[in-house]
Amino acid sequence: MRKIKLHQNLLISLSDKSDGNIDYRFSPKAEVKSNRHKIFKYLNLSTQVVEVEQIHGSQVSFIDQKTAIKFPGKQIPKSDGMVTNLTKSALMTRLADCIPIVLYDPQNHAVGLIHAGWRGAIQKIHLHAIIKMTNHFNSKPTKLKAWLGPALQSCCYTTNKPPTQRVLPEWQSFISQKNKTWHIDYPGSVIDSLINVGVNKTNIVNSNQCTGHDKKQWFSYQRHKKTNESDGRFVVIVKLL
Ligand SMILES: [Zn+2]
């Protein structure tokens, strides 16, 4: 478990394989519960931890006190992102290849946490989150800070068929073909679209870590499909301080 520094008033923490799987679908319930408990204890989280279902969509949920109370230990259905200005709640997302994106508004002390899969990235879920932050907290894209965590980078995001987004003009710079294999740069595309809506390039931090490459550290759904490696998820947790 480690803490990421994006801003002094924001806690971002990241687990890895050494903290165990935290998704109830892939390990016995008691084991996942224990792994989660250790992480929450390490972060000193005696607070509500809010999660979404994660269906690879583009819906972003506004987390107010009512929602946070309604969903402790449950997942908000059909959603892949959350925005909040609650200081009592933490937001958590589960990962293995999809991109965790954190958006922080230091002026209005509000945060967004997004799980961006390939479908979510095409639908620009991160921009849906910015619109929600603008509507609810009066956030300005130019003031936002952004962090992209470990994800499947273009080295490992490959396909033998032409990718779906090949027809979309804004994706052209992020698709390449080497020896009949297509490579897709999802984090690159996300960063480009953040900049296009006014997020300052110098306010964007990309971890550049590839879940596909580093099998000791990260769970990877793609690697799990290709090898006998067991499936699992690591987490990103954010909390306003
Ligand atoms: Zn890679």
Residue 112, SS3 per DSSP: strand
Distance 207 CA to ligand 1 centre (A): 13
Q: What is the distance in A from the centroid of ligand 1 to the CA of 157? A: 7
Residue 226 Cα to ligand 1 midpoint, Å, equals: 14
Interval between CA 139 and ligand 1 midpoint (Å): 34
**Residue 236 CA, ligand 1 centroid: distance in Å:** 20
Residue 40 pLDDT grade (very low, low, confident, very high; cuts 50, 70, 90): very high
pLDDT at 228: 86
Mean pLDDT (whole number) for 115-142: 97
In Å, how far from its chain's centre is CA 22? 15
pLDDT band (50, 70, 90) for residue 52: very high
Please give the average per-residue pLDDT across 78-92, as a whole number.
96
**Can you tell me the mean pLDDT for 139-168?**
95
Phi, psi for 96 (deg, rounded to 5): -160, 80
Half-sphere exposure of residue 237: CA atoms within 13 angstroms, side-chain side: 26
Across the chain, mean pLDDT equals 95
What distance in angstroms lies between residue 108's CA and the mean position of ligand 1's atoms? 36
* Residue 118 Cα to chain centre, angstroms: 12
> Residue 91 and residue 112: Cα distance in Å, rounded?
8
Backbone conformation region of residue 4, classed left if phi is above 0, alpha if psi is from -120 to 50, else beta:
beta
Among 126, 117, 144, CA closest to 82: 126
Q: How far, in Å, from the CA of 135 to the mean position of ligand 1?
A: 37
| pLDDT of the residue at 73 | 74
- pTM of the full structure: 0.96
Q: Is the pLDDT of residue 105 over 80?
A: yes
Query: Taking each helix axis from N to C terminus, what angle separates 125-137 and 186-196, rounded to the nearest 10 degrees?
Result: 40
Output the six-digit token pair for 223: 């690697």
Q: How many angstroms is it from 224 CA to the middle of ligand 1?
A: 14
Residue 121 CA to ligand 1 centre (angstroms): 18
pLDDT score for 224:
95
Q: Output the CA 174–ligand 1 centroid distance in Å.
A: 15
Instruction: Please check the confidence at residue 175 and state whether its pLDDT lies above 90.
Output: yes
- 69: pLDDT confidence band, cut at 50, 70 and 90? confident
Alpha-carbon distance 23 to 15, whole Å? 12
The percent of residues in the chain predicted with pLDDT above 90, rounded, is: 91
Dist. CA 116–CA 149, nearest whole Å: 11
User: What angle (nearest 5°) sits at the alpha carbon of residue 49, between those of residues 145 and 83?
Assistant: 35
Q: From CA 74, how far away is CA 177, in angstroms rounded?
A: 42
Compute the distance between CA of residue 13 and CA of residue 142 in angstroms, rounded to an integer: 24
Would the pLDDT of 4 be above 90?
yes
93-126: string of b/e by CB count within 10 Å (b at 16+)? bbbbbbbbbbbbbbeeebbbbbbbbbebbbbbbb
Least confident window among 42-46, 99-103, 184-188:
42-46
Can you read off the two tokens belonging to residue 183?
Answer: 């490579």
Element containing residue 83 per DSSP (H, E): strand 81-84
**What separation in Å is there between the alpha carbon of 233 and the centre of ligand 1?**
17
Q: pLDDT digit string (tens) for 114-123?
A: 999 999 999 9
